[in-house]
A and B are shown apart, each in its own frame.
Chain A
Amino acid sequence: MADAECPECASPIAIAANTEVGEILSCPDCGTRLEVRALTPPKLEKAPGVEEDWGE
């Protein structure tokens, strides 16, 4: 498990070993939805907002 930093509030976020690039995480401190952009080293970016045509 590695740590990354929330790009919004700078809190440390634990990245589990089975995390995938493209996965969405929530910052436990500020609640921002974050997309995993890289794993080595871990890099998080604010997740894209839901678009009008998204959904089932």
Chain B
Amino acid sequence: MGRRRMRLALCYTLVSAENKMLLDSAKKRGVELERIVDGETLLAITGNGKKEYDAILQRSVSYSRSQALTYYFEQQGTLMISSYDAARICGDKMITSIELAKAGVPTPRTYVALTPETARQAAGKLGFPLVMKPTTGSWARMVHKINDKDALDAALESREEMGSPSQKVYYLQEHIDKPGRDIRTFVVGNVVVAAIYRHSTEKSGWITNTGRGGTASKCEITPELAELSLKAVSFLDEGIYGVDLMESANGLVVHEVNHTTEFRNSSPVTGVDIGDKMMEYFISRAKR
């Protein structure tokens, strides 16, 4: 009797450059990767709960869709990379910051306020400039450097006028005077496989996100960088993560951990086929 073929899948919202690289890598490796398009998937909540897939590489770009699908498939016994618990922690900046601090990872001073009044109290503790972000969503949208009280009042008023309750959760953080760049490391399993500097540019302003016009260059993986990156994922299920760090006057600090890290601009500058490293790891985890 032959062995049952493993069912492996890539779950995504759109075929991004990263997802295309992952599909290509699977093809090169002779692995048949099924596709789950999150917006086209119907979840049979009261169905038989039978396991459909052995492992899914979760690349949904939507946090809400990712949470629903990951929980659903995980309950069927499917290995999810990343896991529901990991996505819940990484997808919410407040929870990430709490876990980083608990793990003893150096991280910027942070407050979360639920009203404009308490947000102003947080500003009083942090001083200006400070950084204000939503707790979910990213690509640096609504991430503001607030230089003074007037700017804070304007930002708070804008956020209060928005319809979404999640925009009224104010995540305020000390501004780190970084040298025009920050660092993204790519952790695959227990290994830091690549690292980049993300430089701010005239187009991106103070933000370094490459999707907003920041540029990438290779960063050497020093023992300190590797150790801190691994510590920053130590409270997460083993998986694939992007760790964001800043160079502060007091050394490296970690400010975010991403569970669906992008890498299209990072492979060319590092010379590391990051998508292939991810796919190799995903397949090996599925076989464990």
Contacts and interface: CB of A to CB of B under 8 A. Distances in A.
Interface of A: 20-24, 35-36, 47-48, 50-56
A23 B20 CA distance: 8
B62 A54 contact: yes
Contact of A51 (B20, B62, B242): B62
B121 interface: no
Interface stretch (B109-117, B216-224, B256-264, B276-284): B256-264
Contacts of A36: 15
Contacts, number: 53
Contact of B37 (A22, A24, A50, A54): A22
A52 B162 CA distance: 11
Contact of B64 (A21, A23, A48, A53): A53
Tell me if A's interface is mostly helix, strand, loop or mixed.
loop
A22 B14 contact: yes
Interface stretch (B41-49, B134-142, B153-161): B134-142
Contacts of B262: 56
B138 A55 contact: yes
Contacts of A55: 61, 63, 137-139, 141
A35 B36 CA distance: 16
Contacts of A50: 139, 141
Contact of B137 (A20, A48, A53): A53
A36 B16 CA distance: 12
18 contacts: A20-B15, A21-B15, A22-B14, A23-B14, A47-B14, A48-B14, A52-B137, A53-B136, A54-B13, A54-B61, A54-B137, A54-B138, A55-B63, A55-B141, A56-B138, A56-B258, A56-B260, A56-B262
B250 interface: no
Contacts of B14: 22-24, 35, 47-48
A43 B101 CA distance: 49
A50 B37 CA distance: 16
Quick one: which of A21, A23, A24, A56 has the most chain B CB within 10 A? A56
